[in-house]
A = this chain, B = another copy of it.
């Protein structure tokens, strides 16, 4: 039954050889790897406005004008980070995730910190993207007869998560065919909206603006206050959600067509340009049309409604549909990344081995299931509200940026050292004109790279500090607590696995003499099951078999002794007294006694057990042997063997 359901949901199993590795062109790669980054356009501007709205009353709405400079600041940061990651791509053409880069260059603990931040980040990517996607849908139905959907946001989110998880368990690949269409529809329609919106504004002007403070949604946890630098920094932090997912290409360099690094680096530039344009464009439109965050409609939906009126009205729905689609794709990206990173961690023995197993469909099923559960719980806990999840989001992202960039700095310093050593060895050993091979990979322009990554590391570190300072009380503290816990957890697991490996190693093990063991058969009387068990016990015994009977009633004991001659198959019958009508304790005491007498020997306890024909009949049997098994399970030197006797009916 369970198998049938699984087959229906997941499809039939795939052979190991069927794992294929698609190589992507730049265009499809852009679609595959940018959905996460580009999709943040859908909420980043709104998150800035939500914080600015806090000061709207104090500034008579003037605070909203800051959305443009803040967005420009974020765009600059984006440029720095993207440039920084191009260096990583060149240095790690086999894929330079933050975990690998930090571990290799900074050490295990920074690597684990990066891994923990990434895992947290992936969970949040799913929750945030799905929540934002659902918001795009519920915004579109405002004022229609489907407006009730807004009440069921959490449920909708959970349905989407379940669908994506199932698709991933079936083994949806990050194939171009799936990704290209929605991504490019999103990009083109957004760019069109921005162009059309600007044109529309300069032709018709903004529609009657809503009074700045009417029914305003503000960022959760803020009280209304005057506009301060701290508040602006808070708005900036919120907007930094736009940068999430920017590292995706550097993780997946291997998936590009040759020359991989070259193509990947070019794609990063394209992605950064598109993201900057779309994000800035969105912020500018929000500013021009003076839309302000509302409870039940997104900012983009608001100005899209204003822009696309009359004959263009249908395009509003294109925008909303494209937004929802790209956000679902972004969540899907996390469903590829989380299991992949957990499998890496499991292979390095920082997570339970199960995360490294490929399931029926060649995907890391356990990681997919865990991710779906965790992101579902987050959605429930935060009511499916993007803006309440945002404060948790960027801490992990920027922590991994910082670690990855710092790792690159160390990487270049090592390259420099290598170059110097190379130069020295050239001078000393092989003469000035000879080039050793490993020098080829050490680029001479390490200085430039060092500066770029250094600037990237510094910038992301500063933003991280700003982020923690401004968002700590709004939820970032959760992540600040969870990441060290995760690292501790990774280390505990690793320590355990290492210790087990050491204890299990055959190294230093001397060939052992043949084992001798005493066989004990606890019996409840004499019946076929017991006779079979005794017969089996006799066949495995290296010594005499002992049948042990606990005496509750003298009469029954006498009957047993009478029958023993004929059916005891030569085993010695030991009768134990049990004044308190207990079964387990006298048996355990007896086993202990024998263990002591025999020294280091093994004791095999052969339990006669019958297997009833129907499941409910289990309740009528074997209760005592279950208890006995339970108490013997952890006993050293005792091996328990159940000899089943199958009942027919």
In the bound complex, do residue A509 and residue B528 qualify as a contact, i.e. CB atoms below 8 Å apart?
A: yes
1/0 contact string of A241-272 vs chain B (CB within 8 Å):
00000000000000000000000000000000
In the bound complex, do residue B531 and residue A509 qualify as a contact, i.e. CB atoms below 8 Å apart?
A: yes
Say yes or no for A447: interface residue by CB 8 A criterion. Answer: no
Interface size on A, residues (CB 8 A): 70
Of chain B, the residue at the smallest CB distance from A540 is B540
**A:446-494 near B, CB below 8 Å:** 493
- The answer, among B16, B542, B645, for a CB contact under 8 Å with A581, is B16
Selecting from A95-103, A136-144, A634-642, the interface stretch reads A634-642
How many angstroms between the C-alpha atoms of A235 and B305 in the bound complex? 74
In the bound complex, do residue A639 and residue B641 qualify as a contact, i.e. CB atoms below 8 Å apart?
A: yes
Distance to closest chain B CB from A611 (angstroms): 6
Distance to closest chain B CB from A231 (angstroms): 45
Say yes or no for A610: interface residue by CB 8 A criterion. Answer: yes
Selecting from A86-94, A127-135, A352-360, A427-435, the interface stretch reads A352-360
Selecting from A386-394, A398-406, A408-416, A513-521, the interface stretch reads A513-521
How many angstroms between the C-alpha atoms of A354 and B621 in the bound complex? 9
Which has the most chain B C-beta neighbours within 10 Å: A505, A540, A621?
Answer: A540
Distance to closest chain B CB from A575 (angstroms): 15
How many angstroms between the C-alpha atoms of A353 and B526 in the bound complex? 17
1/0 contact string of A598-623 vs chain B (CB within 8 Å):
00001010000011100001011101
This protein's copies in its complex: 2
How many angstroms between the C-alpha atoms of A528 and B542 in the bound complex? 23
- The answer, among B505, B552, B602, B646, for a CB contact under 8 Å with A536, is B602
In the bound complex, do residue A640 and residue B642 qualify as a contact, i.e. CB atoms below 8 Å apart?
A: yes
Chain A residues with CB under 8 Å of chain B are: 13-17, 352-354, 357-358, 360, 493, 496-497, 499-501, 503-506, 509, 512, 514-517, 526-529, 531-532, 535-536, 538-540, 542, 552, 563, 567, 579-582, 602, 604, 610-612, 617, 619-621, 623, 633-634, 636, 639-649
Known contacts A16-B579, A499-B649, A504-B528, then 18 further A-B pairs from the complex at CB < 8 Å, ordered by chain A residue: A13-B582, A15-B580, A16-B552, A354-B623, A357-B581, A358-B581, A360-B581, A493-B620, A496-B617, A500-B621, A501-B527, A503-B647, A504-B645, A506-B528, A509-B531, A536-B639, A539-B542, A636-B646
